[in-house]
């Protein structure tokens, strides 16, 4: 039972059109499925461009802060000068860099806001150090405890930001930052 004539031509063209429609449908489905979402694109850009910039600046700041805890350590005047003239201005500049990010998605807005809060805690810890140096009524032990607590809070905030960033990447089905 072989089709001949106009029926055969109609069947062949129907099969061709259906095959073309299936190929176009498959291409559209694949494009929608494998195209990165707006959140993934912005989070990738944030992790690949902003975070390394933040970490590079932080490394320089922490290198200067490490001088304060080295043995034999600087004198109070030298420590105050290092904090007031070098570390705190660098932290303020880092905060301005963080504020310059204009996130479009809630995830990046949240992660960047958490980073700014961590930088604020580090600024607060440095300012507490300056106050501990300047306050003659504060005992050395109480000042040391206050400063140590502020730096621990700042470190905890930075760690929480890093964890939140890693979780946001995993949730968006991206590789977590290294």
Q: Is the pLDDT of residue 1 over 60?
A: no
Average pLDDT, the chain: 90
Looking at residue 2, its pLDDT comes to 59
Domain extent listing, the chain: 1-35, 38-171
Q: What is the DSSP letter of 35?
A: S
- 173 or 32: which leads in pLDDT: 173
What global pTM score does this model have? 0.80
Looking at residue 3, its pLDDT comes to 55
In which region does residue 173 sit, left (phi positive, over 0), alpha (psi from -120 to 50) or beta (all else)? left
Looking at residue 6, its pLDDT comes to 64
- For the ranges 18-32, 95-109, 115-129, 142-156, which has the lowest average pLDDT? 18-32
């Amino acid at each position: 039972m072989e089709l001949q004539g106009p029926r055969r031509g109609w069947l062949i063209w129907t099969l061709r059109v259906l095959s073309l429609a299936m190929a176009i449908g498959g291409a559209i489905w694949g494009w929608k499925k494998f195209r990165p979402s707006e959140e993934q694109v912005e989070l990738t850009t944030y992790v690949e461009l902003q975070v390394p910039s933040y970490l590079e600046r932080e490394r320089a700041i922490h290198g200067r802060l490490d001088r304060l805890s080295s043995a034999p350590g600087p004198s109070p005047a030298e420590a105050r000068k290092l904090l007031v003239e070098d570390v705190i201005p660098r932290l303020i500049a880092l905060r301005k860099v963080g504020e310059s990010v204009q996130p479009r998605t809630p995830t990046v807005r949240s992660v960047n806001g958490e980073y700014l809060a961590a930088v604020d805690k580090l600024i607060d810890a440095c300012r507490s150090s300056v106050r501990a140096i300047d306050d003659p009524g504060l005992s050395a032990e109480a000042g040391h405890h206050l400063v140590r607590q502020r730096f621990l809070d700042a470190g905890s905030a930075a760690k929480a930001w890093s964890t939140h960033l890693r979780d946001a990447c995993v949730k968006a089905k991206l590789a977590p930052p290294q």
